[in-house]
Amino acid sequence: MDARLEAIRDTVLARNPGEAEFHQAVVEVFESLGPVHDRHPEFLEAAILERLCEPERQIIFRVPWTDDAGRVQINRGFRVEFNSALGPYKGGLRFHPSVYLGIVKFLGFEQIFKNALTGMPIGGGKGGSDFDPRGRSDAEVMRFCQSFMTELYRHIGEYTDVPAGDIGVGGREIGYLFGQYKRITNRYESGVLTGKGISWGGSLVRPEATGFGTVIFTQEMLKTRGSSFDGQRVVVSGSGNVAINAIAKAQSLGATVVACSDSSGYVVDEAGIDVALLREVKEVERGRLKDYAERRGGVSYVDGGSVWDVDATVALPCATQNELDGDAAARLVRGGLLAVGEGANMPSTRDAVAVFQDAGVLFGPGKAANAGGVATSALEMQQNASRDSWSFEHTEERLTEIMVGIHHRCASTADEYGQPGNYVLGANIGGFVKVADAMLAQGLI
Ligand code: NDP
């Protein structure tokens, strides 16, 4: 790492003790930014990096609610409004028992660069709670969401901060959150949340956008080697929103997705995952992958273990952070891996990224490859602002243009800085320079 940046990094790590995921995200970005500061010493003089690593606002609050047995439950809510240089804070809410400030800050920090790369007018933020929706009834999830919004509403707004979904927050949760916001404020402010239902301000393609976008970005990487998804053997981790739609898109382009996972195990389905059945089990019945394996028949289900034990030519990690380590990466490389497109945020550890890059595997980092979700959220905001709704085809066309544009921005930035094919460097520098220029122009704020 550039010596000038090491001192800043040390201060950031010391100021944010015990936040391992935030540290990891900061270090990964800093490792790319030395060459930018050679060209732009004004960024150092204006302390852009120090300011960028300090969120503009961090909100932590109590979320009390009652479960179906009438017992009082207490969770912790978070919203980190990280950077508004380019637009209102924008980023999802995650409901998962592992959520704490360090996770929310890593996600919010990554979101700043991701949102800048989309070319849309959106700043970076993220939020969530340690609430676990798994195994909870609809009524419990609704009471939790209503209590969560009873505090959050005062901090958000279509020109201020626009949350969306993430792990554990899908259409059901966004519905309950929006209903409570509307009730408290007495305003039908569609643009305050994205990921809404189609009949009440949502956008077509938003549910598919992150998974579709990840595949479109990966296809662009494959094209640089004269290849495509057609005929690839693909492994996807996760079986949630991002994973299912990545599987659907990859198979529509001629690939065979032979395996996917959840937090209990993974399924190997050599004929290619049956997407309609997977949607039925996971999205409608809220069941487990084990149920898919039983219903599908003729496939193997592995309890526990790692889906990365299955050989693939393309890997799409779409579950969670740090799910793919250096050993798993080395195994995949030995098995003939050509490309990795990160649908999840920071799913590959730093060791894994190094293994992929050293082996010459095409590697698309999450902040570029999964930006289709937030980009389509911005398209949802555009439709809300103009009280319009676009067709599926038009919206998907816009998503494709945006993903091709992000790929181009990353690739051309990597070329410009003398590291062709380094999408990590391209994404970090491409996003950073846009935000840094805006911060410089806006004075010391
Ligand atoms: P979902 O909640 O819909 O699905 C998450 C999937 O990952 C589930 O299959 C879940 O398994 C699995 N998973 C979650 N945590 C773990 C864990 N600790 N270990 C193993 N498996 C786990 O979430 P999304 O699909 O929305 O999000 C997936 C990833 O994509 C996250 O990193 C998220 O930040 C990122 N992302 C999402 C966007 C979106 O638009 N939704 C946008 C950009 C990025 P189980 O069911 O067993 O919990």
Q: What is the DSSP string of 89-131?
A: EEEEEEE-TT--HHHHHHHHHHHHHHHHHHTSS-EEEEEEES-
* Top mutation candidate among 162, 242, 346, 377 for ligand 1, by most atoms within 8 Å of CB: 242
Residues 26 and 113 in one domain: yes
Query: Using a 6 Å cutoff on CB, does residue 238 contact ligand 1?
Result: yes
In a domain, 265, yes or no: yes
Q: Are residues 131 and 224 in the same domain?
A: no
Q: 101 lies in a domain? A: yes
* Residues 156 and 103 both lie in one domain: yes
Last residue of a domain, one of 129, 153, 188: 188
Q: What is the pLDDT of residue 435?
A: 98
| pLDDT at residue 3, rounded to an integer | 87
Partners of residue 166 on adjacent β-strands: 169
Pocket flag, ligand 1, residue 166 (CB < 6 Å) = yes
* Ligand 1 pocket member 91 (CB < 6 A): no
Catalytic, out of 90, 105, 126, 182: 126
In a domain, 439, yes or no: no
- Residue 266: which CATH number? 3.40.50.720
Q: How many residues can be counted in the chain?
A: 445
Do the domain assignments include residue 331?
A: yes
Q: Which pTM value belongs to this model? A: 0.97
φ/ψ bin of 337: left (φ > 0), alpha (ψ from -120 to 50), beta (otherwise)? beta
pLDDT value of position 246: 98
Q: Is the same domain home to 163 and 289?
A: no
Asked if residue 277 belongs to a domain, the reply is: yes
Instruction: Tell me, yes or no, whether 427 lies in a domain.
Output: no
Full pLDDT tens readout for the chain, 445 residues: 888 899 999 999 999 999 999 999 999 999 999 999 999 999 999 999 999 999 999 999 999 999 999 999 999 999 999 999 999 999 999 999 999 999 999 999 999 999 999 999 999 999 999 999 999 999 999 999 999 999 999 999 999 999 999 999 999 999 999 999 999 999 999 999 999 999 999 999 999 999 999 999 999 999 999 999 999 999 999 999 999 999 999 999 999 999 999 999 999 999 999 999 999 999 999 999 999 999 999 999 999 999 999 999 999 999 999 999 999 999 999 999 999 999 999 999 999 999 999 999 999 999 999 999 999 999 999 999 999 999 999 999 999 999 999 999 999 999 999 999 999 999 999 999 999 999 999 999 8
> Domain tally for the chain?
2
Partners of residue 59 on adjacent β-strands: 79
In a shared domain, residues 90 and 225: no
Cβ–ligand 1 distance for 344 under 6 Å, the answer yes
Q: What is the pLDDT of residue 2?
A: 85
Q: Distance (Å, rounded) from C-alpha 49 to C-alpha 14?
A: 15
126 flagged as catalytic: yes
End-of-domain residue from the set 364, 390, 408: 364
Confirm or reject: Cβ of 133 under 6 Å from ligand 1: no
CB of 211 within 6 A of ligand 1: the answer is no
How far does residue 133's CA lie from ligand 1's centre (Å)?
13
Residue with CA closest to ligand 1 atom 48:
263
Residue 310: the pLDDT is 98
Same domain flag for 155 and 286: no
The finding on whether 345 has its CB within 6 A of some atom of ligand 1 is yes
- Ligand 1 atom closest to Cα of residue 343: 30
Residue 317 Cα to ligand 1 midpoint, Å, equals 10
In a domain, 398, yes or no: no
Q: Please choose from 115, 194, 262 the residue to mutate so as to test ligand 1's pocket, defined by most ligand atoms within 8 A of CB.
A: 262
Same domain? For 125 and 71 the reply is yes
Domain boundary among 188, 218, 240: 188
Residue with tokens 């492994």: 235
Helices (H), 17-61: 20-30, 34-39, 41-45, 48-52
Structural domain boundaries enclosing 123: 3-188
Q: Does one domain contain both 212 and 168? A: no
Determine which residue's CA is closest to atom 39 belonging to ligand 1. 166
Are residues 181 and 218 both part of a single domain? no
- What interhelical angle do 101-118 and 20-30 show, nearest 10? 30
Give the residue among 216, 319, 207 at the shortest CA–CA distance from 259: 319
Q: What is the pLDDT of residue 179?
A: 98
Kindly report the CATH number assigned to the domain that includes residue 70: 3.40.50.10860
> Which pLDDT belongs to residue 430?
98
Report the nearest-CA residue for atom 40 of ligand 1: 373
Q: Is there a contact between 4 and 44 (Cβ–Cβ < 8 Å)?
A: yes
Distance 445 CA to ligand 1 centre (A): 34
Residue 405 Cα to ligand 1 middle (Å): 25
Residue 355 belongs to what H/E stretch? helix 350-358
Ligand 1 atom nearest to 239, measured from its CA: 9
pLDDT given at position 393: 98
pLDDT of residue 1: 81
Same domain, 184 and 253: no
Sign of the alpha-carbon torsion through 112, 55, 157, 181 = positive
Same domain (yes/no): 174, 235: no
- The reply to whether ligand 1 has any atom less than 6 angstroms from the CB of 165 is yes
Is residue 133 domain-shared with residue 7, that is, in the same domain?
Answer: yes
The DSSP bridge partners found for residue 73 are 65
Ligand 1 atom index nearest CA of 98:
18
